[in-house]
């Protein structure tokens, strides 16, 4: 099944999908940037900003019992360096990976009861603030997918770190190699999955030529490369290719709304349009 996202969740689908984070030297803190650059990133300029959290805000929460911080990088990247207290969950912690890529249902969100167990094993409940991050420049955007998946399940206490690890480090904030251990809980409550967040294979097929499909992969993948593990090369008929990196600044933070609107307009997509991202 294609893993696609409908436009009505533009920031949760498109931006959250592509916001992944960067890494640098092992265990070392880079020199802080100048005072102007350290000004807190303004998330209020985005219409849908409830799922975003700034590095400054997160820094003040580290060590709190009300925070669960989850690193969505590959295990080797997590082992090299991560934010203190972050639990490494890898790329597909909340996905059903029975079989192999391309098999029906592979890579889709776990069944509700299985997702509930996975969340409880990580210490996640409905009261704590859950923050995800990963590596923008080494990808993939597993933090964006994780945020989308928990939003799909009705959780409203889910956040994604603006700029991720690259921006965190640029601000001179601490990283570590110390492995964090989750504290399991019980009783997390999930809602039935909100189908308005999902564009299934059948939905996409039945709406070909009726709405815009946005393929955010690299040009090589769009043109047929299978280097990222795709079971089949190429792209969905009629899709346009908009690289996810084009939505980000060089430090991994999100471009301003007007910049994003201008970029999307170049593909003849307006904010009010219904479109699918994959």
Residue 5 forms part of a structural domain: no
- Residue range 161-167: average pLDDT? 93
Residue 4 forms part of a structural domain: no
Cβ contact 242:261 at 8 Å: no
Cβ contact 71:89 at 8 Å: yes
Residue 38: predicted pLDDT = 62
Residue 1 forms part of a structural domain: no
Residue 216 forms part of a structural domain: yes
Residue 18 forms part of a structural domain: yes
Question: What residues contact 152, with CB distance under 8 A and at least 6 apart?
Answer: 109, 193, 194, 197, 198
* Number of compact structural domains in the chain: 2
Decide if pLDDT at 126 tops 50.
Answer: yes
Q: Are residues 47 and 133 in the same domain?
A: yes
Q: How confident is the model at residue 16 (pLDDT cuts 50, 70, 90)?
A: very low
Q: Are residues 151 and 210 in the same domain?
A: no
- Residue range 4-22: average pLDDT? 36
Q: Are residues 51 and 85 in the same domain?
A: yes
Q: How confident is the model at residue 102 (pLDDT cuts 50, 70, 90)?
A: confident
Residue 139: predicted pLDDT = 62
Q: Are residues 89 and 206 in the same domain?
A: no
Q: Are residues 41 and 100 in the same domain?
A: yes
Model confidence, pTM:
0.85
Decide if pLDDT at 6 tops 60.
Answer: no
Q: Are residues 78 and 211 in the same domain?
A: no
Residue 180 forms part of a structural domain: no
Q: Are residues 29 and 102 in the same domain?
A: yes
CATH number of 239's domain: 3.40.250.10
| CA 194 – CA 218 distance, rounded (Å) | 29
Q: Are residues 48 and 127 in the same domain?
A: yes
| CA 91 – CA 89 distance, rounded (Å) | 7
Give the residue from 170, 185, 213 where a domain finishes: 170
Q: Are residues 147 and 235 in the same domain?
A: no
3-state percent breakdown (helix, strand, coil) of the chain, nearest 5: 30, 15, 60
Q: What percent of the chain has pLDDT over 90?
A: 65
Mean pLDDT score across all residues of the chain: 85
- Residue range 210-216: average pLDDT? 91
Q: Are residues 199 and 154 in the same domain?
A: no
Decide if pLDDT at 162 tops 90.
Answer: yes
Q: Which domain holds residue 222?
A: 195-277
Residue 138: predicted pLDDT = 76
Residue 241: predicted pLDDT = 96
Residue 274: predicted pLDDT = 84
pLDDT in tens, 27-84: 333 334 444 346 899 999 998 899 999 999 999 999 999 999 999 999 999 999 999 9
| CA 171 – CA 49 distance, rounded (Å) | 21
Give the residue from 107, 135, 170 where a domain finishes: 170
Residue 182 forms part of a structural domain: no
pLDDT in tens, 42-54: 999 998 899 999 9
Q: What percent of the chain has pLDDT over 70?
A: 85
């Amino acid at each position: 099944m294609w893993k696609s996202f409908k436009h009505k969740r533009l920031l949760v689908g498109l931006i959250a999908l592509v916001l992944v984070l960067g890494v640098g030297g092992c265990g070392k803190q880079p020199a802080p940037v100048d005072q102007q650059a350290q000004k807190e990133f303004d998330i209020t300029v985005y219409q849908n900003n409830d799922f975003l959290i700034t590095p400054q805000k997160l820094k003040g929460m580290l060590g709190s019992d009300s925070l669960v911080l989850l690193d969505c990088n590959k295990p080797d990247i997590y082992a090299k360096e991560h934010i203190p207290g972050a639990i490494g969950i890898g790329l597909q912690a909340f996905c059903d990976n029975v079989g192999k890529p391309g098999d029906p249902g592979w890579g889709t969100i776990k069944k509700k009861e299985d997702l509930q167990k996975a969340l409880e094993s990580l210490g996640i409940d409905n009261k704590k603030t859950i923050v995800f991050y990963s590596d923008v420049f080494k990808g993939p955007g597993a933090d964006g997918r994780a945020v989308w998946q928990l939003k799909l399940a009705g959780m409203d206490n889910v956040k994604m770190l603006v700029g991720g690890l690259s921006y965190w480090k640029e601000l001179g904030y601490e990283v570590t190699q110390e492995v964090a251990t989750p504290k399991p809980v019980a009783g997390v409550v999930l809602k039935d999955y909100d189908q308005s967040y999902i564009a299934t294979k059948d939905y996409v097929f039945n709406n070909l030529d009726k709405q815009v499909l946005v393929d955010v992969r690299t040009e090589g993948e769009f043109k047929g490369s299978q280097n990222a593990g795709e079971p089949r090369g190429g792209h969905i008929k009629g899709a346009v290719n908009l690289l996810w990196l084009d939505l980000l600044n060089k430090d991994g933070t999100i471009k301003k709304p007007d910049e994003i609107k201008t970029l999307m307009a170049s593909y003849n997509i307006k904010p009010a349009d219904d479109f699918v991202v994959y």
